[in-house]
Structure 1
Amino acid sequence: MMPADPDTDTERLREAMAKGLAEDGFLTDPGWRAAVETVPRHRFVPGFYLPADEHDEQGLTVWEPVTAETDYGRWLAAAYSDTTLITQFDGDEPDWKNPRVRHGGAPTSSSTLPSLVVRMWADADVREGHTVLEIGTGTGCSTALACERLGSADVTSIEVDPHRLEQAADALYSCGYTPTLAVADGLYGYWPEAPFDRIVAACSFRAVPPALFGQARPGGKILLTLSGWLYGYARVLLTVGEDDTAEGQLLGGTVSFMSARTHAAPAFGNPAHWAAGLPQTGRAARHSPERITAASKEAFHLRFLAQCAVPDVQMTTVGEVVHLVDVVSGSAAALIPVEGWWDVRESGPVRVWERIERVLSAYDEAGRPGPETFTLHVHDGGQHLRHPHLPDLPLPRP
């Protein structure tokens, strides 16, 4: 049974979470530590989903709803753990008074794990006196941390989902935070409150939205995650110059964010239909698809580089066969495992795997450089990822 006032149980939990984040190196700034110790995260997550220990009979993840009413102890412990809490799937608004178990689904809203939230604010070099635009209010917990540190008057947060924003606003106002909130698409930022000293996105984009350059002050910074249809990710911190130019390095780590809904990958149909148009014979692949699918930091990085070469391609595995599908050009490829090698078959105007192989080979020849050695340049409407020993890689046109 839920106690009358959960707030009485959380002061110790907030302090313990802040201490743990500090010991792990995520809270080096006293101001952000004080914010973590103050903001009641449980107020922003009245309900969320946690994965069950086992999948269902179809192999789908079973997501169990957790609320204060259904399991108070589990709800409170998860709220003050360094865990991302999924609050919505497939854009469907949950009924937390009568929650139901979900089987599979695509997460579309969450409360991001606290270590990543404070890391994002710190990486963006957010300081007192800065005006900030946050793209992706979500539950509002990250917004609350910014308000606690900077003051509500300097924080603007936008969210594309009106139901999400309404719930976040209720939680923020009940805690005494009064930032500027608006239902808006992050692709276009929020001109009424511009210009901003810092723009920080809690969702990912295929390329940096051009509107954001005009909404950041010259010398201001934009921190966001780049993603794409291969589910490759990279974070970039851009410093904005004059005339909508910007430049900045990729940051290290393996951070991923849900895609902005307007940049989400389209459905591509049945892989068997695409495979039916492939030739009956192929060639030996020069690189294994495991170079970009393995559960390693290098593969995480390589998947983003490969994605720059084939931005319209999606990937799926059926059995042991890796399928690559380009819904824009109609091109496709399949990599079929043979003893000791991979047979690659391609069709359409774009030789998908051949393009990826060129990137992988150039990467190897350059000495396998890490993310921090790449720079994103924005100039004359184009966006190019550059490295001194590799060919330029363009991002998709925004």
Structure 2
Amino acid sequence: MTDTAARLRLKLADEVSSTGWHKALQMVPRDRFLGDAVFLPHEGRGDQWTPVRRADMDADDWLALAYTNETWVTQVAGVLASEAAGVVTGQPSSSSTYPGLVVRMLEAAEIAEGDKVLEIGTGTGYSTALLCQRLGNDAVTSIEYDPAVAARAQDAITGAGYAPTLVVGDGLYGHAENGPYSRLIATCSVRTIPHAWMRQVREGGTITAPMWGWMGGVAFAHLAMADDGAASGRFLRDDLYFMTARTHLPPPRPPLVRGIGETRETMLDPSLLQDDAALWVAQLAIPQAQLSWAEDTTFLVDVGTGSRADVHPKAGGGWTVCQHGPVRLWDEVEEAVKTWQEAGRPHQSGFGLTVTREDQWVWLGDPGGPAWRLPA
């Protein structure tokens, strides 16, 4: 431990300002969990990334980077920053999320001493180490899908002196061997709540998970387990999300083509879908669809059924929508958005989620209000 690292950890802990997690932030060496390199955006390009190596930086500069309350990308398109020969093109596939967000997640899950935690998504291992520092090694189980990311995290975790149960596999199946758990947290976003999680959390325990859908809508679920094996709860106020579980990503989308199918007028401005809550509602109506924009046109595509819709401005005002396929995608969006508007346009926290062994659905206002089923 260097004086510089200790000073920067204390500064970070003070900045994050969490009473319950202050000591853990002060003790866990985040620089170890960044490994030997991170990616930075390449010349302002959103799809290209340049590795920045610890060995090429002054030691204090590297520590300053590590203890800045920022997210640092550690893997792009399956390539670890430490193994990149140069600029890598693609989307981030693993990162060290900024500590403030990590702690918000832990606080939202209401984790405290005495809890037994299953963490879905080890990532760099930094949040795993925070859990071990506060709860003890025996109370923490963490699962990572990517073997290379898992191996890197294990080296960092054990090198920092922690010894939780670390599992390589699909976190959507959980890890029943160490259950039941009092808290399950997902540091990856999911499209639906996996039923395996429900079987591994005890009665009265909680599941806390960011949710993300194929249109890009997000909400932050916090569910309590009931004695009948069902779970229910409201979405939280935080619009918190992480990278999506890889098996919950959408299928490849076909090329966008405008003007296919039946045409009519619509008075629903498609730019409304740039509002986070409106996008969430539209996604509830057509969870199987993907959303894209091209110039002045909004596109919806349902790969599974071949249904599609495109909406563009109409001369003189209003918009024209063209729809094709068995599902009239824009019709479904209009109906859901109208319901939301009539309810006062609430944030996602105005909705709740119920999950049973057979089904799961999002409801508006209270469990008896308007509801939308999530995909199986």
The TM-score bracket by the shorter chain reads over 0.9
CA–CA separation in structure 2 for the residues paired with 1:106 and 1:301: 25
CA–CA separation in structure 2 for the residues paired with 1:230 and 1:159: 25
Corresponding residue number in structure 2 for 1:296: none
The range that moved more, 385-394 or 230-239, is 385-394
Q: How does 1:264-283 map to 2 (within 5 A)?
A: 264-272=249-257, 275=258, 278-279=260-261, 282-283=263-264
CA contact (8 A) 1:68 1:76 kept: no
1:66 aligns with 2:41: no
Q: How does 1:347-386 map to 2 (within 5 A)?
A: 347-386=324-363
Q: How does 1:100-119 map to 2 (within 5 A)?
A: 100-103=86-89, 105-119=90-104
1:346 aligns with 2:323: yes
Corresponding residue number in structure 2 for 1:233: 218
Corresponding residue number in structure 2 for 1:305: 281
Q: Letter of the 2:338 partner, please give it.
A: S
Residue 380 of structure 1 deviates from its aligned partner by 4.6
Residue 99 of structure 1 deviates from its aligned partner by 4.0
CA–CA separation in structure 2 for the residues paired with 1:357 and 1:221: 34
Q: How does 1:179-190 map to 2 (within 5 A)?
A: 179-190=164-175
**Alignment partner of 1:48 out of 38, 50, 70:** 38
CA–CA separation in structure 2 for the residues paired with 1:95 and 1:175: 19
1:137 aligns with 2:122: yes
CA–CA separation in structure 2 for the residues paired with 1:133 and 1:62: 34
4+ runs deviating over 4 angstroms: none
1:394/1:150 CA distance change after superposition, 3 Å: same
CA contact (8 A) 1:286 1:357 kept: no
Corresponding residue number in structure 2 for 1:87: 74
The range that moved more, 166-175 or 79-88, is 79-88
Residue 393 of structure 1 deviates from its aligned partner by 1.2
1:184/1:341 CA distance change after superposition, 3 Å: same
Q: Partner of 2:79: helix, strand, or coil?
A: coil
Q: Partner of 2:56: helix, strand, or coil?
A: coil
Q: Partner of 1:218: helix, strand, or coil?
A: strand
Q: Partner of 1:177: helix, strand, or coil?
A: coil
**Alignment partner of 1:14 out of 9, 14, 28:** 9
CA–CA separation in structure 1 for the residues paired with 2:265 and 2:9: 55
1:51/1:207 CA distance change after superposition, 3 Å: same
Residue 146 of structure 1 deviates from its aligned partner by 0.4
Q: Letter of the 2:34 partner, please give it.
A: V
Note the alpha carbon deviations across 1:5-62, whole angstroms, 9 max, x for none: 8x4431111111111111xxxx1x2x3011111111010002211224533xxxx543
CA–CA separation in structure 1 for the residues paired with 2:80 and 2:179: 31
Note the alpha carbon deviations across 1:112-164, whole angstroms, 9 max, x for none: 11111111111111111111000000000000100111111110000011111
CA contact (8 A) 1:333 1:347 kept: yes
CA contact (8 A) 1:44 1:139 kept: yes
Q: Letter of the 1:49 partner, please give it.
A: F
Q: Partner of 1:323: helix, strand, or coil?
A: strand
CA contact (8 A) 1:228 1:307 kept: yes
Q: Partner of 1:282: helix, strand, or coil?
A: strand
Corresponding residue number in structure 2 for 1:393: 372
Residue 271 of structure 1 deviates from its aligned partner by 1.3
Q: Partner of 2:187: helix, strand, or coil?
A: strand
1:64/1:76 CA distance change after superposition, 3 Å: farther
1:333/1:75 CA distance change after superposition, 3 Å: farther
Unaligned stretches of 5+ residues in structure 1: 294-298
CA contact (8 A) 1:66 1:75 kept: no
CA–CA separation in structure 2 for the residues paired with 1:391 and 1:157: 36
Note the alpha carbon deviations across 1:276-316, whole angstroms, 9 max, x for none: 6x13x7222221121112xxxxx112212211110110011
Unaligned stretches of 5+ residues in structure 2: none
Residue 320 of structure 1 deviates from its aligned partner by 2.3
